[in-house]
Structure 1
Amino acid sequence: MPTVLPPSLAPGPATKPRLDTALVWLMALTCGLVVANIYYNQPLLAAIGRTFHVSDSRASLIATATQVGYTLGMLLVVPLGDMLERKRLILWMILGAAGCLGAAALAPSFPMLAGASVLLGICSAVPQLLLPMAAHLAPEADRGRIVGRIMSGLLIGILLSRTVSGFVGAHLGWRVVFEGAAALMLALAALLAWRLPQDQPHFTGTYASLMRSLGTLVRELPALRRSALVGASIFAAFSVFWTTLTFYLESPAYHYGSDVAGFFGLVGAMGALAAPLAGGLADRRGPRYAITAGIALALAAYLLLGLAGGWLAGLVLGVILLDVGVQSAHISNQTLVFSLRPEARSRLNTVYMTGYFTGGSLGSLAGGWTWMHFGWPGVCVLGGLFMALALAIHRSYGSPAAVPTTGA
């Protein structure tokens, strides 16, 4: 049970700061720039492997390490957003990310780079603090639109980070990518210190009771368990592709460099455009229908990638279908999660996103291993299997009637 603080220590009456358009865009920009820290390394994996004389499979562990760190950050740090003042917590995490990026740029060995990548992932969980913060500060009538706009910034950051790092890495070297990202985090921290409002917490218990409440939500909400498993499978399939794409493009099939691998981030950015469309579909037909449609689209993408991925046009079309399908399913799945218990959205988000990125870590690890042993056909089969698993869980776990069909 949460403990009650003495009046002198308890938070004062909540007064919501004004959430104007400029602040919303700043939050979207922050989400995009910070989450990019996790994905800069993906187009650079082959170059990192050459620097440290390790195999492609071992180099892919860097991508896995950042996603493992991000998962740990969501599980262990993000719940503190209900307990500590969010602005201060966000600033400390961004400064920590800057330090980790600097350490990655200077890493003298592969294990040092892997360790810095885990810590970087932990410090880059900032978007999962900003999204509940925006939901809290937004007027009820505009909440969905505002959260959707900030989520678009997150999705664009995920995809365009690969374009930037691939181009810079090909022309200036992979270490310069991390050096530039570190400077960017310092500038962002200064901007947020000036512009981001304070957001006082409401939870007055201990960290232990806060963490125990996560288990209570998991036990009491079967729909939350299902959504976390579906999200994990979806993101595993997504990570299988993006972790191995740079290896495929540098293989004899294409002979391209990391700049072309990064260019595919621009192609995949079309997935971000699917976010408002997915929200509209979820509003009209319910989240379950929209999730099914997104998974079906991603399954079709892997079929196309397996059959026509050896041609550039087939690869580009497959990337578009995969990203639109994955982002549509994810946004709709998260809409369903937020509708389960509005007073606990931050912790619901922690549970869901922890499952989501656990799947992403597994997908990166399995994708690197599959590429080494079975090549591109094996990668496409593995991605399709993860998507088929997501569809099976979504359609068979729990009763559709028990799941809300309206957003938060």
Structure 2
Amino acid sequence: MNPSAENPARVVATQEAEAPQELTPLLTLFFATAVGVIVMNLFAAQPLTGSIGRSLHLAPELAGLVAMLPQLGYAAGLVLLVPLCDLLENRRLIVRTLACCAVFLAIAMFTDSRGVFLLAIFLAGAASSVIQMLVPMAASMASESHRGRAVGNVMSGLMFGILLSRPAASVIAGAIGWRAFYGFAALIDALLAVVLYLKLPDRLPVVATRYPALLRSLWTLLRTEPVLQRNAASAALVMGAFSAFWTAIGLRLAQPPFSFDMNGVALFALAGAAGAIVTPLAGRAGDHGMERKALIAGHLIMLVALVVMGVAGAGWGGFSVSTHPALAVALLVAGAAALDAGVVTDQTLGRRAINLMDPAARGRLNGLFVGVFFVGGALGAMFSGAAWSLAGWTGVCAVGFAFTGVAFVLRLIGAVRGTLRVARRPSPTR
């Protein structure tokens, strides 16, 4: 049955002009690189907050805006810009949005005005939502049988970008100043816009609505689509665990017996990023009908990783961190990689499910999915800070364990229900 016919509240047609161009391995690599570079705009400011605040003479209570505004802008872009994928020709929309992002980053580089800088990074964050235009574009260029693999490959770039953004920004800013980072980001985004203009095919969705109605349909999709609800909730929970860990790990590594400086934390982040290599494997698991098993395995890996990091960072089980600091660091790196692997498995398979839904709503579905898991990430960071002040590293691991445990239980319940539904189906008659 036509999915739009099942839900008359939808305001989109069910056909679109799919891109005829095939998603080649080279294009897949380019998509992954592009989203990995663009996502750095959202997270790189976190280690630069102090130097930017001092340079622009921001009051201490306002310095946090440097890290917060790009992500607030991104959330606004998910709601206001990404739905345009279902209304406007995608190639022009992507190129123009990314070009605007480059302009805003260049303004942030040159301005000495606090207000102009904060507005520029907010708008750059909003324009960085072009990431969620590129992912459905890549999905539309892949055949349905390989869509999970395609989304997984592109998502690997996104996760590498998130994990590497902080150390990359620290290295660039430490060598030539924070303004150089924004200039470098502006130049890269401008070059990407040119290449995307040359390489992307035209993709014109067919809709039967206008922009205000398109925005109103976001709530309808969130309220009526169980596949979106289930996968977005799971992604939000595991992103909460991910955010809790990466928010506090720098604080733990700065303490004895580790006493890492900023470069040491950056190297740790590079090592922990190894977990992102499972992303294409997760997509292939979905393409081969092993989605539920892969999701449950990913969550179990995360739970084990959090226990390992509790042992290595807080001495759970009687382990002496001060006596074996090298072993503790090795366990923390292995735990970080395993945690990241579980997160990307959940998000890759969730995205695959989202991109197999109604193609005419693909832009909005991706925007909603990402918006919900960003809420989970924000909650994880908030609870992590509170847990760190109250119970140190043990509290942080407990927060991650709680988020992941709820996601695991929800997926397990879904798997049991799915098995029961299959068992109750009548046998086909001959």
Q: Please, what TM-score do these two structures have when normalized by structure 2?
A: 0.80
Q: Give the CA deviation at 1:300.
A: 1.9
Distance 2:364 2:207 in 1: 11
Whole-angstrom CA distance in 2 between matches of 1:392 and 1:54: 44
1:188-238 C-alpha deviation (Å, 9 max, x unpaired): 222223333322222241112222332222232223212211111111211
Map 1:120-269 → 2, pairs under 5 A = 120-269=124-273
Residue 353 (structure 1) aligns with:
370
Match of 1:320 in 2: 337
One-letter code aligned to 1:125: S
1:362 matched to 2:347: no
| Cα distance in 2, alignment partners of residues 58 and 303 from structure 1 | 36
Change (3 A) 1:259 1:63: same
Residue 65, structure 1, aligned to residue 69, structure 2: yes
**What is the deviation of 1:41?**
2.4
Whether the 8 Å contact between 1:42 and 1:242 is mirrored in structure 2 is no
Q: Which residues of structure 2 form unaligned runs of 5+?
A: 1-8, 314-320, 322-327, 423-430
**1:35 aligned partner, one-letter code:** V
Aligned CA-pair RMSD:
3.4
SS of the aligned residue for 2:406 comes to helix
Matched to 1:317, the amino acid is A
- Structure 1 pair 66/395, CA: closer, same or farther in 2 (3 Å)? farther
**Cα 1:266–1:69 shift into 2, 3 Å:** same
Q: 1:296 to 1:103 in 2, by over 3 A?
A: farther
Q: Is 1:93 the counterpart of 2:97 in the alignment?
A: yes
The 3 A distance-change label for structure 1 pair 264 and 119 is farther
| 1:343 CA drift (Å) | 5.0
Cα separation, 1, equivalents of 2:343 and 2:258: 25
Residue 81 of structure 1: how far off its partner (Å): 0.4
Query: Cα offset for 1:332?
Result: 2.0
Q: Measure, in 1, the Cα distance between the counterparts of 2:267 and 2:79.
A: 32
Distance, in Å, in 2 between the alignment partners of 1:188 and 1:227 is: 30
Q: Distance in 2 between matches of 1:259 and 1:22?
A: 33
Alignment size in residue pairs:
399
Local SS of the residue matching 1:202: strand
CA–CA distance in structure 2, aligned partners of residues 116 and 238 of structure 1: 28
- Following superposition, the deviation at residue 119 of structure 1 comes to 2.6
Supply the distance in 1 between the matched residues of 2:356 and 2:88 (Cα, whole angstroms): 24
CA 372–190 in structure 1, closer or farther in 2 if over 3 Å, else same: farther
Check 1:71–1:139 CA distance in 2 against 1; reply closer, same or farther (3 A cut).
Answer: same
Query: What is the SS of the residue equivalent to 2:206?
Result: coil
Q: 1:46 to 1:3 in 2, by over 3 A?
A: closer
Q: CA deviation at 1:59?
A: 5.6
In 1, distance between residues paired with 2:157 and 2:36? 5
Contact 1:240 1:363 (C-alpha < 8 Å) held by counterparts: yes
Q: Give the Cα–Cα distance (whole angstroms) in 1 for the partners of residues 245 and 48 of structure 2.
A: 15
1:68 and 1:361 in contact (8 A); partners too = no
Q: CA separation of 1:245/1:113 partners in 2, compared to 1, >3 Å: closer, same or farther? A: farther
CA distance in 2, matches of 1:104, 1:402: 53
- Shift in CA distance, 222/17, structure 1 to aligned 2, threshold 3 Å: closer
Q: Which amino acid aligns with 1:349?
A: N
Q: Distance in 2 between matches of 1:395 and 1:49?
A: 46
SS at match of 1:66: helix
8 Å CA contact 2:272–2:336 kept in 1: the answer is: yes
- Closer/same/farther in 2, CA of residues 329 and 20 from structure 1, 3 Å limit: closer
Aligned-partner SS, 2:207? coil
The yes-or-no answer on 1:288 pairing with 2:292 is yes
Show CA shifts across 1:301-329 (max 9, x none): 22222221253222212211111111112
Deviation sequence 1:381-407 (CA, Å, 0-9, x none): 2222222232233344797329999xx
User: 2:44, 2:166 within 8 Å by CA — same for their partners in 1?
Assistant: yes
- For residue 30 of structure 1, what is the aligned residue in structure 2? 34
Q: Which amino acid aligns with 1:97?
A: C
The secondary structure found in structure 2 opposite 1:201 is: strand
Q: Does 1:305 align with 2:309?
A: yes
Counterparts in 2 of 1:3 and 1:379: CA distance versus 1, 3 Å: closer
The answer on whether the counterparts of 2:151 and 2:283 sit within 8 Å (CA) in structure 1 is no
Q: Please say if residues 167 and 258 of structure 1, whose CA atoms lie closer than 8 Å, have aligned partners that are also in contact.
A: no
- After superposition, the Cα gap between the structure-2 partners of 1:281 and 1:107, relative to the gap in structure 1 and judged at 3 Å, is same
Q: What is the aligned counterpart of 2:352 among 329, 332, 335?
A: 335
Maintained 8 Å contact 2:28/2:150: yes
Distance change (3 Å), C-alpha of 1:239 and 1:15: closer
Q: Which amino acid is 2:378 matched to?
A: S
Specify the alignment match of 1:386 in structure 2.
403
Greater displacement, 144-153 / 366-375: 366-375
Shift in CA distance, 364/108, structure 1 to aligned 2, threshold 3 Å: farther
